Amino acid sequence: MNTGQMLLSLGALILLSTMILRFNRAVLTSDEVMYNSKFNVLASSLCTSLIEEARGKAFDQETDSAAVTKTDQLSTTMGPDFGEKYESFNDFDDFNGFIKVDSTMPSAIFYVTSKVTYVEANNLLNIVTKKTWHKMITVTVMSSSMKDPVQMSSTFSYWFFR
């Protein structure tokens, strides 16, 4: 084998190696996308579960056992009351500032956080500081295995039976 043939063989091997590396990269990238979408499915289910749980509570601390007729009667602070823990949450805004680590899922550990704010009736995306009859919960689920966090929001309005 002369020098020219050696160079051609080396060139061919380099080309083949590059092709193999590119192929492996493509496979790994599509694997990553697949896993990410699987984690997103789980993250979405965690978001909806927490929203569902919060919606099962009273609208406000003050409406847990009695009805109110004016927004002034609603509690002034968002979040759990002093000494109130997750197990004893009784109203929607107790989930403001809530953090939970979910390690029960079969594939990854998820971090669930939520925020509750008042929103305007005529624009439910508009967060306001004054008290209204509408509260919005925003749940964010993150994981070190995921590329981007999943975020979902839901608005809960006050109602009662007459």
Partner 1 sequence: MGTNVILDIMGSIIIGGILMITLFRISDRATESTYNKTGDLTIQQNIASVVRTLEYDFRKIGYCADWTQIPNPSKSIIFAKSDGIKFLTDVDRDGKVDTMYYYTGPVSELIYTANPRDRILYRVVNNEKPVKVNLGVTQFDLVYYNVDKEIIPTPVSVLGEIYTIQISVAVEDIEAYDQKYSQVFWRQIRLVAKNLRNR
Given the complex with partner 1, which of 46 and 119 has the nearer CB atom?
46
Q: Strand pairing of 110-119 and 127-128?
A: antiparallel
Q: Which stretch binds partner 1 (CB under 8 A): 20-28, 74-82, 93-101, 142-150?
A: 20-28
Q: Does 105 bind partner 1 (CB under 8 A)?
A: yes
**78, HSE (Cβ side, Cα atoms, 13 Å):** 21
Given the complex with partner 1, which of 20 and 121 has the nearer CB atom?
20
How many CB atoms are located within 10 Å of the residue 143 CB? 22
Shortest distance (Å) from residue 128 CB to partner 1: 22
Which residue, among 111, 132, 108, has the nearest Cα to 122 in the 3D structure? Answer: 132
- Residue 155 near residue 116 (C-beta atoms within 8 A): no
Q: Does 14 bind partner 1 (CB under 8 A)?
A: no
- Residue 60 near residue 69 (C-beta atoms within 8 A): no
List residues binding partner 1 (CB under 8 A). Answer: 1, 9, 16, 20, 23, 27, 30, 34, 37-38, 41-42, 45-46, 48-49, 52-53, 55-59, 63-64, 67, 87, 105-107, 159-161
